[in-house]
Chain A
Amino acid sequence: MGLLSDPNRRKALTNLLTRLNAPICMVCYLAAIVWFMGLAFEPFTLRTYMSENAMGSTMVEERFSSGERALSLAKEFDAHKTKAGGMPVEWLVKAMQARGLEVFTQSFSRKLPFPDENKERYMVRGTNVYGILRAPRAPRTEALVITAPCSPGNSNNQAVGLLLALAQYFRNQIFWAKDIIFLVNEHDLIGMQAWLEGYHHTNITGMEYSPLQGRAGSIQAALSLELSSDVITSLDLILEGLNGQLPNLDLANLFYAFCQKLGVLCTIQGKLQRNDWDTAEGYTHAAQTMMLMVLKQACGRSWGDHGLFLRYHIEAASIRGINGFRHYKMDVATIGRLLEGMVRKLNNLLERLHQSYFFYLLPSLSRFVSIGYYMPAFGLLAVILLLRALDLWVNLGAPALEAVDGVTEAEQPSGPGVLTVLTPVVISHLTGVALYLLPVHLQEMAVEHFPVSETEAVVLTAVAIYTAGLALPHNTQRLLSGEGTEQGWKVLKLTALLYLAVLLGCTALINFSLGFVLAVTLVPITASMTPHMPKALSALAMVLLSPAFTILYCVFIYQELIEAPVSVSEGWMLFLSVISQGILDHALYGSLVYPLLALFVYPCWLMFWNILFWS
């Protein structure tokens, strides 16, 4: 550190950094993008391996063979479901009791903040049914959970049938060391949330539910099953949970190991694995898979019923049966054997799953990118913000140094007042608070005055407040401190840059994908923004790279990646529904993406908007 304590050398270093600031930033940005895209390149990634000893070396034999029974149970379930017009509670209770489980039910109700138009629900009332297989000679301290949602229409009947058949088979085995809970939840995630809150006796989302009567100790792992056809061609593994949380990688490894063992085609993000990594197609395929994971993780919602378990430190994944156009089909018994194997290995666990990674990206099921490999991509982006901040700091410091040498210190104003910086900060954040609170609270008023539905009212209010925010604050500092000074905007920008760096840094630690996606779009404009740029052009660039447009691009890219491209108008409708889903996810399950965007990212972006119109 002699480099810094020597004033001459320090000066040389800062000179270098300020002089080469722009090129360094550019290089960093490009390096970040290249690094990130390189993550999908197979030689740069690691092969997945089982870390947990208890699951790796122990042998289990899969003997489940009641596939036919599972299908007939599925049919029976379907008939009773149609008859009951929803969850056939009594039938399920009887079916589980007949299989020797301790059966309990839980009723719940939830009024959504506004109607969910995707799933057409507003007042939700339902019942969860679960049966507990008590492990012989274990004292109810640990449990595993297998869930299957009771979905409307024809879907997921086979999942419930398989669940019951597995329960029957498992009940006759002596080797269980953990209780196994078989749960059929109604209204997918809402029912799951009610059950989990009931099980842990918490209430974080304002759900109303009846208390649970039967418990089985601390839940170690959970598998959620989605199966809608009698035969399947492949199984898809879904890992992304609430707020971008992921289960321990060993759970994915376990699934992959059994797929290999039983010869089941397995996919992740609906994409099969390819072996030709050295061709352009092979690389593109891996990159697409990884991008899909990044987008899914970034949006912070639970992509299956498993996603809500993760908050409670329960490792969980969803397994979805897919019936595609392949020649080779598998029957339910094979899936049953796969689940049997997985559950038996989880049953062997001597401790909670913790050996393997919790932070990872998967370009394919057999390859993973750990946090140590993907973090530099984000780090390179964050460094840009810090470099720009350093540049500004040096700039701001330089005249102050001259002032010390100058004759009078009184003439030089001691920098811009606190108010000049504080006003835009406060006003930006108030706009953010409005964006967070008003859409849901003003929906009734909006519905009264405009010919729109509640959901549209909420989304359009959000869009309106977002747009209004652009007009509002860019002249605010003048109210208090008159003309903006050159130093004023620099201090504001310095604050905003550091704020953004901290914000993105924290976000990326919790949810890398979200942090990275935001950084990729926000860093270029925020780093280069000054009031001296051509107003119209830079305003356009800023708007096009604002958080809302980021969401819009993500929608289009996502649709492109899942090979269901949409037109602009469809994309716009999807965008609106994404916003409403984001708000709903926050209200129903406690997803944090909406408050993060509304309360922090958008205000931060507004500060830069403010700088652009500094006068």
Chain B
Amino acid sequence: CSHHPGKARDQFQEELVIRPLHSGDIYASFQFRTLWDTDFLQERQKVSHYRLFPKSLGQVLSKFSVRELHISFTQGFWRTMQWGQPFIPSPPGAELWVWFHDTVSDVDGNWKELTNVLSGIFCASLNFIDLTNTVQPSASFKPLGLGNATDHRFLRYATLPREIVCTENLTPWKKLLPCGSKAGLSVLLKSEKLFHSSFHSQAVHIRPVCQDEQCTSKAWELRQTLNVVFDLYTSGQGKKEWSLFKMFSRTLTEACPLATSSKVYVDITDNPELFELSPATPLLSQAVVLGDRRTYSVFDLTRAETFGQLRSLNLLLRWKGDSGMLRPLLHAERYVAGFGLQTGEIHTVIYNNHPYRAFPVLLMDSVPWYLQLYIHTLTVTSKSRDNKPSYIHYQPAKDRHRPHLLEMLIQLPPHSMTEVTVQFERALLKWTEYTPDPNHGFYVGSSVVSALVPSMVAMNTNFTQDQPLFSSFVPVKEESSYFVRVYTEPLLVNLPTPDFSMPYNVICLTCTVVAVGYGSFYNLLTRTFQVDEPSLPLAKRLANLIRRIRGVPLLA
């Protein structure tokens, strides 16, 4: 900053996208982007002057030499079949993946410290991330920012499927925003409404990006995203009618004064058949997102006329009719088959709903060590035929040290269902390894399906500043396809659990049985019995002694 006192080298953008869903629910996606062309990783020069970029995160980046950091907290499960693809997917619970700089020598050490620090920043149980649930995916998680690092030694990935997300996580997340929750779009982020929803996900993504089109200089990008889906029945009283006030119990009155751009997009591609929008806006924008060309009404909060006479903006959407939804091209689900507490089978089902195109997907499964996978039982079948994965990366688990990691590149035939099954055996835990509290069971994190899905329309590969944020998160490399990541549901598995009040009784009982019963029976069975000869009187024994010396037969 000191070099160009006149011109700030950081900028902030905020954006809200509202997508009415075919189910009658409504999807609101917030994105806040801070861009700063500084370099956190410089050895000599310590970054100390912060303006828009949160200092707490900046210091973390430089201390742990983080290249890229993605963290998400999600409550609920994204229902792909009802809602289509989200702008930024995330698995239930907490997910953290980090690319470290290749100068880092002790990656595991940095990772451990980083998770503990983040745990403090976000008030979450990220400190439960340790080596037993951390993996290094070889192909599924490529850096999304600049640079083409491929050495997955510097990547760490972990999920906590059990993590419950609540207001205590939202508050620190909001504090990272330049305007806090005081002005701009973030006034809508009221926890009593955000958590009265069927899906809530908040995330922080930090990565290095190009400063401009020519990519002459590098900048750090911090994206804070928050996705929420409001339910037609529980939040909407069953009426297909939504407004900002109904969703967030607030209306918009101003943009964040620090923001260079502050916009609200409403997906009106299906308008006017499906719903009507008021107030109407003349500003329309088209964007190609997730393989589809969508039309958006744009409300620019930096312009006073957006707010009209009432000085407040309360968007109103009213459905007029029903319409079917195109099946999402890719979706996946997972479940545990079998019963009993000894063995089981994990089924992962991946659907390719494209009518005529086959495409490959990368499936990544990270399974805790206490489910001992029988990897020889791994089968992949599509259309009831064996489907041989073209790439398999399998890292077996080590008991109490690291989880299983299975990555496979599978070609999905068009319009097909591919089923991946693998059997497992449940391990017997040590008694201290069970959670002390009442627990539902043991969770297995979501599997991750990453794919380049054939696009219906040409994707926009040009990098421009004006692109809406929601369409520019994942860099598009080719026109014909777009990147999608799908998370399956986590699994809940019961392990054989002793009744912990029993051991005391059992110990007492078994000790008694062993001491009294077994001991004497063993004694009885192994001892040889002989008739005890009555001992001789003292006089006879003396006589015998003398007789032995004399060499004559002894007395009986």
Contact = CB atoms under 8 A, between A and B. Distances in A.
B339 A217 contact: no
B194 to A, nearest CB: 10
A352 B233 contact: no
Given A174-B196, A200-B337, A141 B76 contact: no
A136 B231 contact: yes
Given A138-B77, A140-B77, A172 B233 contact: yes
A215 B335 contact: yes
Interface stretch (A1-9, A68-76, A518-526): A1-9
B333 A215 contact: yes
A201 B198 contact: no
B238 interface: yes
A5 B338 contact: no
A201 B337 CA distance: 5
A200 B338 CA distance: 5
Contacts of B199: 136-137
B44 interface: no
Contacts of B438: 53-54, 350-351
User: Which of B237, B337, B441 has the most A CB atoms < 10 Å from its CB?
Assistant: B441
Contacts of A270: none
A343 to B, nearest CB: 16
A283 B119 CA distance: 63
Please classify the interface of chain B as helix (H, G, I), strand (E, B), loop, or mixed, using the class held by over half of its residues: loop
B77 A136 contact: no
A201 B196 contact: no
A218 interface: yes
B191 to A, nearest CB: 13
Contacts of A201: 335, 337-338, 345, 347
A139 B161 contact: yes
Given A201-B345, A201-B347, A351 B440 contact: yes
Nearest to B345: A201
Please classify the interface of chain A as helix (H, G, I), strand (E, B), loop, or mixed, using the class held by over half of its residues: loop
Given A136-B76, A173-B234, A141 B492 contact: yes
Contact of A312 (B81, B339, B440): B339
B323 interface: no
A382 B161 CA distance: 50
A108 B336 CA distance: 21
B231 A218 contact: no
A218 B93 CA distance: 18
A100 B338 CA distance: 29
A354 interface: yes
Contacts of A53: 438
A313 interface: yes
Contacts of A312: 339
Contacts of B335: 201, 215, 217
B491 A217 contact: yes
Interface string B59-101: 0000000000000000111010110000000001100000000
Contacts of B441: 218, 351-352
Contacts, number: 104
B277 to A, nearest CB: 24
A215 B345 CA distance: 15
B518 to A, nearest CB: 10
Contacts of A137: 75-76, 195, 197-200
Contacts of A1: 516, 520-521, 523-524
A213 to B, nearest CB: 9
A137 B25 CA distance: 14
Interface in B488-546: 489-494, 499, 516, 520-521, 523-524, 527, 529
Contact of A139 (B93, B234, B439): B93
A138 B520 CA distance: 57
B333 A136 contact: no
A217 B520 CA distance: 51
B234 A217 contact: no
How big is the B interface, by class?
35 or more
A284 interface: no
B232 interface: yes
B520 A174 contact: no
Given A100-B233, A174-B196, A5 B492 contact: no
Given A174-B196, A201-B345, A102 B233 contact: no
Interface string B339-372: 1110001010000000000000000000000000
Given A4-B524, A173-B234, A141 B443 contact: yes
Contacts of B238: 100, 172
A311 interface: yes
Contacts of A100: 232-233, 238
A136 B492 contact: no
Contacts of B345: 201
Contact of A5 (B347, B440, B443, B524): B524
Contacts of B234: 136, 171-174
Interface residues of A, number: 33
A202 B521 CA distance: 46
Contacts of B443: 141
B276 to A, nearest CB: 23
A142 B529 contact: no
A134 interface: yes
A4 B520 contact: yes
Interface string A2-42: 00110100000000000000000000000000000000000
Nearest to A314: B339
B523 A139 contact: no
Given A172-B238, A174-B234, A350-B438, A5 B527 contact: yes
A210 to B, nearest CB: 13
User: Which of B93, B345, B437, B438 has the most A CB atoms < 10 Å from its CB?
Assistant: B438
Contacts of A202: 337-339
Contacts of B523: 1, 5
B527 A136 contact: no
Contacts of A54: 438
Nearest to B439: A351
A354 B499 contact: yes
A218 B494 contact: yes
Interface in B421-464: 437-441, 443
User: Which of A54, A137, A173, A352 has the most B CB atoms < 10 Å from its CB?
Assistant: A137
A142 B198 contact: no
B490 A139 contact: yes
B417 to A, nearest CB: 9
A336 B220 CA distance: 57
A217 B439 CA distance: 15
Nearest to A171: B233
Interface in B391-447: 437-441, 443
Given A102-B82, A202-B337, A313-B339, A141 B440 contact: yes
A171 to B, nearest CB: 5
Contacts of A142: 440, 492
A141 to B, nearest CB: 4
A338 to B, nearest CB: 23
Interface in A49-92: 53-54
B76 A138 contact: yes
Nearest to A215: B335
A102 B79 CA distance: 11
B135 to A, nearest CB: 20
Nearest to B74: A139
A200 B92 contact: no
Interface string A259-297: 000000000000000000000000000000000000000
Contacts of B516: 1
Nearest 5 A-B pairs (CB), nearest first? A1-B520, A139-B92, A201-B337, A137-B76, A141-B492
Given A5-B520, A141-B492, A354-B499, 6 more contacts: A1-B520, A5-B529, A100-B233, A102-B82, A217-B492, A218-B336
11 contacts: A5-B523, A136-B231, A137-B75, A139-B77, A141-B489, A174-B196, A201-B345, A202-B339, A312-B339, A351-B438, A354-B499
Interface of B: 75-77, 79, 81-82, 92-93, 161, 195-200, 231-234, 237-238, 333, 335-341, 345, 347, 437-441, 443, 489-494, 499, 516, 520-521, 523-524, 527, 529
